[in-house]
Amino acid sequence: MERLAEDLNVCSRRGLSERFDSTIGAGTVLMPFGGKHQMTPIQAMVQKISLEQKHTDDCSLMAWGYDPVLTTESPYHGAYSAVVESVSKLVATGASFEDVYLTFQEYFPKPGRDPRRWGLPFAALLGAFRAQMDLGIGAIGGKDSMSGTFENLDVPPTLVSFAVTTEKARRILSNEFKGADHRAVLLSPEYDENGLPEKGSLLALYDRVSDLIHSGKALAAYTPERGGAAAAVMKMAFGNGLGFRFAPEVPLEALLADKPGRFLLEVTEPVEGALTLGETTEAFAFVRGDEALDGPALQSVYEDRLEGVYPCNIPTVPGPVETFRFSAHEHPRARFQAARPRVLIPVFPGTNCEYDSAKAVRDAGGEPVVLVLNNLTPAGIVASTDRFAKALQNAQMVFIPGGFSGGDEPDGSGKFITAFFRNERIKDGITDLLDHRDGLMCGICNGFQALIKLGLVPYGRIMETDESCPTLTYNLIHRHQSRIVRTRIASNKSPWLSLMDVGDVVNVPISHGEGRFVADEALIRQLAENGQIATQYVDLEGRATVDVRFNPNGSLYAIEGITSPDGRVFGKMGHSERIGHGLYQNVPGNYDNRMFEAAVRYFR
């Protein structure tokens, strides 16, 4: 198990995956890593079909298959297995087999005039072709390269199969073990003399697994990859910190064999004809007979293999942590009412969350007004400023969405947004909105960074900031972070949080490289006393923490969001606009802080 955990084909790649935004578009059905600890890697991408204004239960799925070790030994077997693996991953995720299609990516050493080198892609394509004929599915397009040689270095023979299909989000099954005292069973097709699945047996198994999933009898499903069922058990257990007791009578061969087309299911009842591998346990350990392996120790091996290349578990930086609490007893309403308040959403070069934000506003009963700012020419900037100033006069709220305005250059994020809002006309309009019309303002991620630089949080007005003012700086992990974090409502003083209770914990997607909140100790104390610290990063027990697993950027006092003195300007790092039914199914928790609903009610 320890050797498997540190194998480059098995070990954790979380530090690489978190560098990419996995929740943009507010349609992610399965996060890249599942369970309350977000440690079980998914086997298929599942994303809702994008709609600008409405909602859908339809989603697209994509999975891949490729084993470099097997394909090096036999390109024919490797390519056949790649097809079966990619399709099996879709089935294990809850998709039906009938509408699956394929596309291939091939990469081989430069063949030159060596007939043996020409034989590598030929054998692989024969294996892939047989797999397509056996399964009755075709490959649509693909990409190939025969340039995988540099001096004396060759890539391994590579044929990666991508399988795609569609399914309803409600039929999707995540693959982390769900609870203790559940049995894990292994279902296998029959194999021919070459070690490949018998096509009739495999197709029948696909139907059976789908029936077990859609009937609710399977709580989790996984198709073993490199490392076999033993590696699958390990990965499925990590997500929720569960252990596993292997049945002593199960031979090691059954646990370690790399055979395509098998399925490992978590079930509560026996499954006829399946091999019972063992059962899940509350204690985080892996046990077989008299041998026991500590779960945290095995997980460290699994994570540490690539920690030096793609870090994700940096040491906790000591610092003061206090779980703040400020409860408001009343929440005033705006003097100027609006049945459907207008929310002005500016789109700056590099902004990427305007669609998600507009949909969240619309769902809450507001009227989003998306205004794209043109910076291609000086005249374009002047015209955009004029349009924004006019639109501001008829708006009740301004919402600055997230993204990477101006590529976060020069010298950090939010600079272009800040420069725009310092324009005299825009500054006067914002001042009028906040001081005379009881308006609201919010910024998330890049928008929060702009609010901080403008002084709108925590001071409530556009001003010249200096070194004594709070700021947002680079994450301590020195890279972009994308994952789900837990945030606790520390104050419900703001109209944006008036529908929440202090102490409520809300899951929220984050996606940023500069989210570390830094401020003077005395100022933080002042903000806490005035109820301006709105939200904090918390651990699984709901306590504010500096642990990088829960406080992804190393923010002082675990601060995730703050407000202006009266609470009407709200800035936060987490993307609370990325919400919707059926999302993030493999990371349990409540995702709606009701901030958009509360903001709309404030004007009614």
Q: What is the pLDDT of residues 579-588, one digit of tens each?
A: 999 999 999 9
For residue 24, being part of any structural domain is answered with no
* Residue position matching structure tokens 């989790």: 220
Average pLDDT estimate for 557-582: 98
> Which backbone phi and psi does 370 adopt, to 5 degrees?
-90, 125
pLDDT at position 571 is 98
pLDDT of residue 526: 97
For residue 455, the model assigns a pLDDT of: 97
Does residue 488 belong to any structural domain of this protein? yes
- Long-range residue pairs from 450-453, CB within 8 A, at least 24 positions apart, any chain: 450/400, 450/405, 450/414, 450/417, 450/418, 450/421, 451/400, 451/569, 451/571, 452/414, 452/571, 453/414, 453/415, 453/418
Same domain, 449 and 592: yes
Distance from C-alpha of 360 to C-alpha of 521, rounded to nearest angstrom: 35
- Confidence band, pLDDT 50/70/90 cuts, at residue 141: confident
The answer on 537 and 468 residing in a single domain is yes
Q: Share the mean pLDDT of the chain.
A: 96
Position 413 scores a pLDDT of: 62
- Identity of the residue numbered 559: I
Query: Stretch 554-570: mean pLDDT, rounded?
Result: 97
Q: What is the pLDDT of residues 386-432, one digit of tens each?
A: 999 999 999 999 999 999 877 676 666 678 899 999 999 999 999 99
Q: Which of 490, 473, 505, 482 is nearest to 575 (CA)?
A: 482
Whether 323 is in a domain gets the answer: no
Q: Tell me: do 516 and 567 sit in the same domain.
A: yes
pLDDT tens for 146-158 read 899 999 999 999 9
Which sign, positive or negative, has the C-alpha torsion 198, 201, 204, 210?
Answer: negative
> What is the number of helices (H) and of strands (E) in the chain?
17, 27
Same domain, 403 and 458: yes
Task: For residues 211-232, give the mean pLDDT.
Answer: 97
Instruction: Let me know: does 511 contact 23? Beta carbons within 8 Å.
Output: yes
The residue range of the domain holding 403 is 342-602
Provide mean pLDDT across the span 54-76.
97
SS (H, E, C) 211-250: HHHHCCCEEEEECCCCCHHHHHHHHHHHCCCCEEEECCCC
Side-chain-side CA neighbours of 194 within 13 Å: the count stands at 11
Give the separation between CA 573 and CA 255, rounded to whole angstroms: 44
505 and 375 within one domain: yes
**Pairwise CA distance, residues 344 & 441, whole Å:** 9
DSSP secondary structure letters along 330-346: --PPPSS--SS-EEEEE
Contact 31, 20 (CB under 8 A): no
Going along 417-473, which residue ranges are E strands? Answer: 440-444, 471-473
pLDDT at 143 (0 to 100): 78
Please give the share of the chain, as a percent, with pLDDT higher than 70. 99
Q: Do residues 135 and 262 share a domain? A: no
Distance CA(438)–CA(449), nearest Å, equals: 23
In this structure, the answer to whether residues 113 and 230 fall within a common structural domain is no
Interior angle at CA 463, CA 374 and CA 599, nearest 5 = 70
Q: Are residues 305 and 370 in the same domain?
A: no
* Distance linking the first and last C-alpha atoms of the chain: 60
Task: Say whether both 444 and 532 belong to one domain.
Answer: yes
Beta carbons within 10 angstroms of residue 495's beta carbon: 25
Has residue 31 been placed in a domain?
Answer: no
Half-sphere exposure of residue 164, counting CA atoms within 13 Å on the CB side?
13
User: What sign has the CA pseudo-torsion 573, 579, 583, 588?
Assistant: positive
How many Å apart are CA 423 and CA 419, to the nearest integer? 7
Same domain for 379 and 502, yes or no, is yes
| Domain tally, the chain | 3
Residue-level pLDDT at 411: 66
User: The CATH number of the domain where 496 resides is what?
Assistant: 3.40.50.880
User: CB within 8 A of 273, min separation 6: which ones?
Assistant: 187
pLDDT at res. 547: 95
Q: State both tokens at 234.
A: 């390990």
- Which residue, of 167, 200, 221, is where some domain finishes? 167
Domain end (from 118, 138, 167): 167
pLDDT, residue 404, reads 86
Q: What is the CATH number of the domain that holds 135?
A: 3.30.1330.10
Q: What per-residue confidence (pLDDT) applies to 318? A: 75
Q: What is the pLDDT of residue 317?
A: 73
Please tell me the predicted confidence (pLDDT) of residue 224. 98
Say whether the peptide bond before residue 410 is cis (omega within 30 degrees of 0).
Answer: yes
Clarify whether residues 393 and 524 are in a common domain.
yes
Q: What pLDDT is stored for residue 415 in this prediction?
A: 81
Residue 406 is predicted with a pLDDT of: 73
571 three-state secondary structure: strand
Closest CA to 26 of 499, 572, 402: 402
Report if residue 249 sits inside a domain. yes
Give which of 295, 311, 19 is closest to 177, Cα–Cα. 295
Q: Give the separation between CA 282 and CA 289, rounded to whole angstroms.
A: 17
State the Cα–Cα distance between residues 279 and 184, nearest whole angstrom: 6
Looking at 269, 298, 313, the residue that finishes a domain is 313
**Residue 61 three-state SS:** strand
- pLDDT tens figures, 101-110: 999 999 999 9
**DSSP-derived 3-state class of residue 581:** coil
Query: 360-379: per-residue pLDDT in tens?
Result: 999 999 999 999 999 899 99
pTM of the model: 0.96
- What pLDDT sits at residue 140? 87
Query: HEC profile for 355-417?
Result: HHHHHHHHHCCCEEEEEECCCCCHHHHHHHHHHHHHHHHCCCEEEECCECHHHHCCCCCCHHH
438 beta partners: none
- Which CATH number goes with the domain that contains 275? 3.90.650.10
- Mean local confidence (pLDDT), 505-531: 97
* Three-state secondary-structure class, residue 29: coil
> Does residue 184 fall inside a structural domain?
yes
Residue 36 domain flag: no
* Same domain as 69, residue 7: no
69: its two tokens: 């070790």
Burial per residue of 525-553, b for 16 or more beta-carbon CB atoms within 10 angstroms, e otherwise: eebbebbbbbbbbbeeeebbbbbbbbbbb
Tell me the HSE value of 290 on the side-chain side, using a 13 A CA sphere.
0
Is residue 364 situated within a structural domain? yes
